[in-house]
Amino acid sequence: MLAFAIRRAFQSFIVLLVVGLVAFSMFNFVGDPIDNMLGQERTGADIERLRVQLGLDQPFPVQYYRFLEGAVQGNFGISYRQGRPVSEVISERLPATLELAFVSAVLAVIFGVALGVFTAIRRNGWAANTIMTLSLIGVSLPTFLIGILLIYLFAVELGWLPSFGRGDVVDLGWWRTGLLTQSGLKALILPAITLGLYQMTLIMRLVRSEMLEVLRQDYIRFARARGLRDKSVYFRHALKNTLVPVITVTGMQLGAIIAFAIITETVFQWPGVGLLFINAIRFVDIPVMAAYLMLISVMFVSINLIVDLLYFAIDPRLRLDRRGGEK
């Protein structure tokens, strides 16, 4: 298992190097930031000075090496637009995105698994059929539309919840949280639903089909033949056997939640890194874009690594090598 973990960690490292190369090449291929940063009244000397200051006069490999060196230390240079270190800009925005993603993911997993199990057990009941039909909406409606519909209903028509922003935040020094104030929590509800709805329906449909598959297995029949209670048959015997594929997809979706927060953050003007990224694109603020790309890929890769390791915790058949040939 340790060998497996090391091998997977190494693969993750390669992936990050490749992403780093892609992120870095943006500096050379996506327009010239100098144009944007200096106004119409620039002189040749100004351009040259800024080029040297930003390190853009160096040859390509040197720039790449410097970029990697900085990236490993969390230093992505200076935002072209804001003139402040990128790490600072991102770290003050990151808590907002992580809180939003975390709450969405928790909602998606809890409701997704619960509804998935329910619709599998009551396969032909009217409640299960209604949920399944409604879930099609969750899968097929685009996120921005769901967000706008929710804003229209709950913010404009009913006026219960705020339509944008993060509400009041509490500064914990290194983390500004909106989870501790009432307005912060209220502001979180709509974006969290918007962001998590697709994932929830996806998890639900997956849990349902996996449950239906497992419920056909012999060991479920045998568990029933042994007179075990429904609760035990469904949750102890069936649900656990559905978890490996469910965790795989949930892990990938967790990455997607953080990445796709861009759209939700735009709709709700949520001050997170997604919105930061959109604004960075608008102003060709390449250091911010590159840092964002790296950040997302680090998250994706580490989530996948954790998911792979979770398999071992769930399925004893994968732990074979640790017991050393016992038969």
Partner 1 sequence: MNKQAGREPVLSVANLSVEIPTRQGTLTPVDKLSFDIEQGRILGVVGESGAGKSMTGNAVIGLLDPPAHIAGGEIRLKGRRIDNLAREALRKVRGKEIGMVFQDPLTSLNPLLPIGEQLTETILEHLPVGKTEAQNRAVAALEEVGIPAAAQRINSYPHEFSGGMRQRVVIALALCAEPSLVIADEPTTALDVSVQAQIIALLKRLCRERGTAIMLITHDMGVIAETADEVAVMYAGRLAEIGPVRDVLTAPIHPYTQGLMASTPLAAKGKKRLSQIPGAMPRLTDLPDGCAFNPRCPIAKDKCRRPPAPNLDSGGGNAACWYASGARS
Positions touching partner 1 (CB under 8 A) are 217-219, 221-229, 232, 236-237, 240-241, 314-317, 320, 323, 326-327
Residue closer to partner 1 (CB basis): 278 or 310: 310
Nearest distance, CB of residue 231 and partner 1, angstroms: 11
Structural tokens at position 326: 């016992």
Strand partners, 176: 171
Nearest distance, CB of residue 306 and partner 1, angstroms: 20
Burial class (CB in 10 A: 0-12, 13-18, 19+), 278: middle
Question: Nearest Cα to 49, choosing from 38, 65, 64?
Answer: 38
Nearest distance, CB of residue 239 and partner 1, angstroms: 10
Residue 105 host element (H or E): helix 86-121
Nearest distance, CB of residue 77 and partner 1, angstroms: 49
Nearest distance, CB of residue 313 and partner 1, angstroms: 11
Nearest distance, CB of residue 307 and partner 1, angstroms: 17
* Spatial CB neighbours of 52, under 8 Å, sequence gap ≥ 6: none
Neighbours of 44 (CB within 10 A): 7
* Spatial CB neighbours of 211, under 8 Å, sequence gap ≥ 6: 116, 117, 120, 121, 238, 239, 242
Give the Cα separation of 16 and 290 in Å (integer): 12
- Beta strands 170-171 and 176-177 are antiparallel
Give the Cα separation of 102 and 175 in Å (integer): 15
Residue closer to partner 1 (CB basis): 171 or 218: 218
Return the sign of the alpha-carbon dihedral for residues 233, 237, 240, 242.
negative
Nearest distance, CB of residue 309 and partner 1, angstroms: 17
Residue closer to partner 1 (CB basis): 241 or 264: 241
Half-sphere CA count of 173, side-chain side, radius 13 A: 0
Residue closer to partner 1 (CB basis): 98 or 314: 314
Contact call for residues 188 and 179 (beta carbons, < 8 A) = yes
Residue closer to partner 1 (CB basis): 207 or 288: 207
Measured in degrees and rounded to the nearest 5, phi and psi for residue 176 equal: -105, 115
Residue closer to partner 1 (CB basis): 160 or 219: 219
Residue closer to partner 1 (CB basis): 228 or 305: 228
Nearest distance, CB of residue 225 and partner 1, angstroms: 4
Residue closer to partner 1 (CB basis): 38 or 244: 244
Which residue is listed with tokens 């298992």? 1
